[in-house]
């Protein structure tokens, strides 16, 4: 290794270094709290079938719950970009918090590395309210059963292959890193999904645009079912979006679509292991590679990173909860520092 090599490496390490890092021990927060983005008022006539609660009235739906923590700037170093963490199908913001086996989640780890983090519950899920009037209209005879809302839960067994713990329940891919010994705690994270009762784009999408604008330069980090949302948000209003990290997206934008919204925007599409062993996922990775090629031909800055191709093996679909989740977070923090710069 030459002196020049050493200097180049040192510079790269410095650039990747966390701003105001608090690697361990007590954590100091500059400010924290929660709020909602979006939401609209709806007049309804089937809020209740109970005598204690009136059937008619106004409710508010489509808002997106956001919980945030901002670390202090320390030693004159700028903070990292604010990260907006968006969960996937059948899950909530819990995805990014303490792992099923009790390790630190990305929500806290990135704060320790100097990034403000904003964890959301998608519209109509978790702490973000939906409407149940479609149930009560049928129950009270105002509508037929086929007008019931479309809502589903993913069972443990079918979810097993989707999350790529193994090819099928209860098989396990060799070397797979999800903490299956704590799977009972993971299943508790799963909630019913009202996604298919919602308009397109999902109300979460404009909320992400609005949140990014409010944060004046945020990186939208999505996962799985929400993988496409940051792209849709950028197409809607790119003003506040400083970058996109789409983790194992259910879909990337179509390669024959309009690439203008992504021109010059740092985008990372991140994948775990075993994709080629999972028929559900293989075409999705291919679709993202096609998108990256099309976007980059049109002035985009899209990288498709497949962890095993970088020597990081064994990751499931839930890589933010796998037993090397913080190693991946470190790599990601480096990517963010290199490509998306500092927050304001």
Positions 138 through 177 that interact with a copy of itself (CB under 8 A)? 138-139, 141, 145-146, 148-159
Q: Nearer to a copy of itself by C-beta: 2 or 43? A: 43
How near is the Cβ of 31 to a copy of itself at its closest, in Å?
A: 8
List 129, 198, 245, 306, residue binding a copy of itself (CB under 8 A): 129
Determine contact, residues 163/117, Cβ cutoff 8 Å. no
Among 18, 19, 88, 94, binds a copy of itself (CB under 8 A): 94
Q: Does 180 bind a copy of itself (CB under 8 A)?
A: no
Contact between 93 and a copy of itself by CB under 8 A: the answer reads: yes
Least spacing, CB of residue 97 vs a copy of itself, in Å: 4
Which region among 181-189, 234-242, 281-289, 325-333 touches a copy of itself (by CB under 8 A)?
A: 181-189
The separation between CA 303 and the C-alpha centre of its own chain, rounded to angstroms, equals: 17
Q: In 3D, which of 259, 272, 332, 333 has the Cα closest to residue 302?
A: 259
To a copy of itself, the closest distance from the beta carbon of 293 in angstroms equals 27
Q: Which residue from 33, 91, 30, 37 is spatially nearest to 67, judged by alpha carbons? A: 33
Do 122 and 233 form a contact (C-beta atoms < 8 A)?
no
> Do residues 122 and 128 make contact, with C-beta atoms less than 8 angstroms apart?
yes
User: How far apart, in whole angstroms, are the C-alpha atoms of residue 229 and residue 125?
Assistant: 15
The 10 Å Cβ neighbour count of residue 205 is 25
Distance (Å, whole) CA 30 – CA 79? 11
Sign of CA dihedral 31, 96, 90, 192: negative
> In angstroms, how far is CA 180 from the centroid of its own chain?
21
Q: How far is the CB of 223 from a copy of itself (least distance, A)?
A: 16
Contact pick of 18, 79, 86, 92 for a copy of itself (by CB under 8 A): 92
Which stretch, 42-50, 206-214, 295-303, 331-339, contacts a copy of itself (CB under 8 A)? 42-50
**Is position 104 an interface residue for a copy of itself (rule: CB under 8 A)?**
yes
Q: CA 248 to CA 253: how far, in whole Å?
A: 13
Between 45 and 74, how does the x/- string for binding to a copy of itself read (CB under 8 A)?
--xxxx--xx-xxxxx--x-x-x----x--
- Residue numbers 18-37 binding a copy of itself by CB under 8 A: 26-36
Residue whose CB is less far from a copy of itself, 8 or 56:
56
């Amino acid at each position: 290794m030459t002196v020049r090599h050493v200097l180049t490496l040192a510079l790269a390490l410095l650039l990747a270094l966390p701003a105001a890092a608090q690697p361990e021990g007590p954590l100091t927060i500059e400010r924290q709290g929660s709020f909602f983005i979006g939401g609209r008022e709806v007049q309804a006539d089937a809020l209740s079938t109970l005598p204690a609660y009136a059937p008619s009235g106004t409710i508010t739906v489509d808002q997106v719950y956001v919980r945030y923590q901002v670390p202090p700037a320390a030693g004159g170093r700028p903070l990292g970009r604010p990260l907006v963490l968006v969960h996937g199908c059948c899950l909530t913001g819990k995805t990014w918090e303490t792992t099923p086996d009790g390790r630190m989640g990305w929500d806290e780890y990135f704060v320790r590395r100097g990034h403000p983090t904003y964890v959301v519950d998608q519209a109509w899920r978790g702490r973000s309210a939906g409407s149940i009037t479609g149930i009560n209209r049928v129950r009270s005879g105002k509508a037929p059963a086929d007008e019931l809302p479309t809502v589903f839960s993913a069972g443990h067994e079918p979810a097993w292959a989707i999350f790529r713990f193994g090819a099928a329940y209860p098989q396990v891919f060799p070397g797979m890193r999800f903490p299956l010994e704590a799977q009972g705690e993971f299943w508790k994270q799963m909630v019913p999904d009202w996604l298919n009762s919602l308009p397109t784009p999902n109300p979460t999408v404009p909320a992400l645009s609005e949140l990014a604008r409010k944060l004046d330069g945020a990186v939208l980090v999505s996962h799985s079912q929400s993988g496409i949302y940051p792209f849709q948000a950028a197409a809607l209003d790119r003003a506040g979006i400083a970058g996109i990290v789409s983790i194992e997206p259910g879909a990337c934008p179509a390669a024959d679509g309009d690439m203008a919204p992504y021109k010059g925007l740092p985008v990372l599409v991140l994948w775990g292991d075993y994709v080629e062993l999972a028929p559900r996922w293989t075409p999705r990775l291919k679709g993202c590679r096609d998108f990256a090629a099309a976007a980059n031909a049109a002035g985009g800055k899209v990288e498709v990173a497949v962890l095993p191709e970088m020597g990081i093996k064994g990751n499931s679909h839930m890589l933010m909860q796998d037993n090397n989740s913080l190693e991946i977070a470190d790599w990601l923090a480096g990517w963010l520092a290199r490509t998306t710069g500092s927050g304001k």
